[in-house]
Chains A and B, each alone.
Chain A
Amino acid sequence: MREPFGPSALTATSASTSRRMWRLIAPWLALVLFLAVPPFIWPQSWLLAYLAQTATMIVFALSYNLLLGETGLLSFGHAAYSGLGALVAAHVFNRVGVPLVLLPLIGGLGGALCGVVFGFISTRRAGTAFAMITLGIGELVSAAAWTLPDWFGGEAGVAIDRASGHALGSWSFGPAREAYALIALWCLLASAALFALSRTPFLRLANAVRDNPARAAAIGCYPRRVRHGVVVLSAFFAGVAGTLGLINVELVSSESVGMMRSGAVLIATVIGGTAAFFGPVAGAVVLTFFSVAVASVTRAWLFYLGLFFVVVVVISPDGIAGFMQRHIARVAACGWRMCRAMYLWGAAAALLWTLAAVLAVQWAYAVQFGIDDSASFGVDGLPLWMASSALWFSGVVFMLAASGALSTRYAVRAQARLAMNSRSTRIAGDTQ
């Protein structure tokens, strides 16, 4: 029998709706704060460049997630759309003189046009074959960028002067601050548009095609046509992202269509998590942190990024967002007190393993590359006595790794105990 709605039930439902509202708004608030507040506190130019890169990557990763998360299409050539979109935008800006404010729209249309053409070829297959075809198309475009210098500008790339367009009021967009404001605004706009898009019936059809193409075809939609549509939409937003990058650095080169960039957006999206809308945003922030902050400290940043990526795929295939969701749900179900041991041991294990890995990798890089110019490789992160004596050093790394393994063991045991406890309480609850 269902209980009649009393006043207590009513307040409970209103509390839960307000909590749901809060949960819906909080990530947006965090994104706005992340983009808007730091420039007012530390108005240095490197911070603006870093934030502009992050904003670009956020849009890029969100557009990629239309393919990977919503439609289940793994693409290895997504940079082709953003790079070609930016290229179209750069040529249009230099020849026609579109206002800079509307330039991302032009780039998006350029990207979408490429999406129509390339998507027609690539969506002939799904699954692994789609991934390989996009890889081939990505390689084709990046190889063409080198063979057709009059389009891509060869080594130098195609440059624009963002201050040369029509000024908007007193804003010429020449200073980095004004350009950043434009980029951040477009980033929020594109994110909101992508969020709205993810609630449309068309993307629900895409989800159906992802989960079961045969049944989706049986209810009367063409899986291939849906995939093609998603590729075009995703290419549009990738073009927008590419143009935001163009506004930031005022240059589009053959690197912007390269495979490195395609790999970067894939890594960002997977690290963040494809199941949640804000997963790619988190992944974009993490990736830009690696490629800007970590890369400025150590040469080994690509190694760390690869390692982190592999660890994420092995431990939590649904990325940071999925990891957070799972653990928030667990804490809510079991209570903080029950989970405490597991989290403490888990955090200790993660810390110790990270420390051991960083020390070992830094040492190895110092040994291999430190001889020619050690200044930029962050060898100074190591105390001198450690670098001088290999025996001491390997002993320290071994101790760290051993205690890390021990903490991992304890964490796994605590997790098993927790799982057993919660199962037994659930069974006890059922029998009552």
Chain B
Amino acid sequence: MQSFVINLLNGVSYGLLLFMLSAGLTLIFSMLGVLNFAHASFYMLGAYVGFSVAAHAGFWSALVIAPLIVGAIGAALERWLLRRVRVHGHLPELLLTFGAAYLLGELVKLGWGLSPLSATVPPALDGPLFTLYGAAFARYRAFMMAVSLVMLALLYAVLRVSKTGLIVRAALTHASAVEALGHDVPRVFTGVFAAGTALAALAGVIGAPLFVIEPAMAESLGSIVFVVVVIGGLGSLSGALAASLLVGCVQTFAVASDVSLGGVLAAFGASLPAEWDALTLAQLAPLIPYLLLVAMLALRPRGLFGRRDEHA
């Protein structure tokens, strides 16, 4: 139980990283009505661009420049491609982002090669922040949590307080009325898409030192982010936050635990074949987000905070 607090903090910091991704995804979904399948690819692109920028200009400038570059690429994708297929409905848009995910994956391989890269933590953030019962909590994780929370607060403030946020929220529900008032709604769409992809890139830059930068990182995290968004309820920011923290904590605890599946089920008085008993929870950790998804759908099809879907 000593490491419980540390595990909890690690889980929360991972969950907040997931939230930075799922927030951008949710923002784009509720705005454009399309789930950006390439979102995790933008996260990967952010990590790679951040790696290159950090090698030349240092970590702190990478934190600013990489999201700007990736946001510009996202805006270009929305402006030149997504807008063209919008007339045909949402399905071609989703398919287009699916194709874009393939292309971004190949472009990353083309630009940076196949071998994994490892980003370094800047010296100011290196080392443990504090030790609790002998287990250390890394200073970098605390920084990650701080950045995520600041981004969350900023996003909330911009959406709630500023005039831009007012226009964005109005365009969400009454696009034609906002257009009639003289605002360029398609440009608002492009801006939201750029902001969402920039958020993903920021998550990539600050997440890179914790994971390995490799061409497969988009697939490994991407499907978890989609699961998070469905568990939280599609289009709900607070749902995305709750689901991100839930998945982050549960997965961290599963990885850190050394309980076997047989041990868990024995507590409930159930038993399984011998080959299943030997599996540890840590081995099953990659499955847990998907099992959570299935359980959530069985109990509550619209997700944690999702609106009721008429045709579900």
Contact = CB atoms under 8 A, between A and B. Distances in A.
B279 to A, nearest CB: 7
Which of B90, B107, B290 has the most chain A CB atoms inside 10 A of its CB? B290
B301 interface: yes
Interface in B10-52: 29, 34-35
A126 B302 CA distance: 11
Given A144-B287, A147-B283, A314-B96, A364 B110 contact: yes
Contacts of A137: 290, 294
A72 B301 CA distance: 19
A310 interface: yes
Interface string B90-112: 11101110111011011101110
A58 B214 CA distance: 33
Contacts of B291: 140
B100 A129 contact: no
A302 interface: yes
Contact of A314 (B85, B230, B284): B85
B84 interface: yes
A365 B287 CA distance: 35
Interface in B280-300: 283-284, 286-287, 289-291, 293-294, 297-298
Interface in A111-161: 121-122, 124-129, 131-133, 135-137, 139-140, 143-144, 147, 150
Contacts of B92: 313, 317
Interface string A354-396: 0000000000110011000000000000000000000000000
B234 A129 contact: yes
Interface in B106-122: 106-107, 109-111, 113
B88 interface: yes
B103 A147 contact: no
Contacts of B302: 125
B103 A307 contact: yes
A136 B291 CA distance: 9
Determine the interface band of chain A, counting residues with CB < 8 A from chain B.
35 or more
A135 B284 contact: no
Contacts of B301: 124-125
A259 B226 contact: no
Contact of A306 (B106, B223, B294, B311): B106
B230 A300 contact: no
Contact of B226 (A74, A125, A136, A368): A136
B230 A214 contact: no
A115 to B, nearest CB: 15
Nearest to A209: B311
B229 interface: yes
A364 B110 CA distance: 7
Contact of B229 (A74, A125, A132, A266): A132
A224 B84 CA distance: 32
Contact of B310 (A121, A214, A300): A214
A305 interface: yes
A165 interface: no
B227 interface: yes
Nearest to A224: B312
Contacts of B277: none
Interface in A273-316: 300, 302-303, 305-307, 309-310, 313-314
A132 B229 CA distance: 9
A245 interface: no
A214 B312 CA distance: 10
A139 B223 contact: yes
A72 B35 CA distance: 16
Interface in B192-239: 219, 223, 226-227, 229-230, 234
Nearest to A147: B283
Given A133-B297, A150-B275, A309-B102, A128 B81 contact: no
15 contacts: A126-B309, A128-B90, A128-B94, A128-B234, A136-B226, A136-B227, A137-B290, A140-B294, A143-B286, A144-B287, A303-B107, A305-B102, A306-B103, A314-B81, A317-B92
Interface of B: 29, 34-35, 81, 84-85, 88, 90-92, 94-96, 98-100, 102-103, 105-107, 109-111, 113, 219, 223, 226-227, 229-230, 234, 275, 279, 283-284, 286-287, 289-291, 293-294, 297-298, 301-302, 309-312
